[in-house]
Amino acid sequence: MSKKGTSTFVVQRATGVILVPLAIWVLINLVSVLNADPSVALVWLTPASKSIVFGAFLAVGVWHMRIGMSEIIVDYLHGWLGDILRVLNWFLALALFGGIILSIYKISFAG
């Protein structure tokens, strides 16, 4: 990971800054469906605008997690174990991102 420290630092901070307003929006909106039935929560997520913002919150959160975990792995695990865990970290992030996209699509657009 030579010569990528600055860009990784900037992206990590940028995703953190992006997550702040998205997290506030999610918390404010989730309070309205906190004690409701699951069907009410699905109706809340059905409009495309809400589902896109919620999907962006989850996707940016996954990207932020991937970068943070990668930095922890690089700092504390060296050798082949660190390499394997960094690859697994990528696959986990991609799987979570794919699951998020599929779930949001099924709830909001596929009915």
pLDDT tens digits, residue range 79-107? Answer: 999 999 999 999 999 999 999 999 888 88
Q: What is the pTM of this model?
A: 0.84
Total tally of structural domains belonging to the chain: 1
Average pLDDT of the segment spanning 29-49: 82
pLDDT at 1 over 50: no
pLDDT at 73 over 50: yes
pLDDT recorded at residue 111 = 62
User: Domain span at residue 83?
Assistant: 5-108
CATH of the domain at 71: 1.20.1300.10
pLDDT recorded at residue 91 = 97
102-106: Cβ within 8 A, 24+ apart? 104/45, 104/51, 104/52, 104/54, 104/55, 104/58
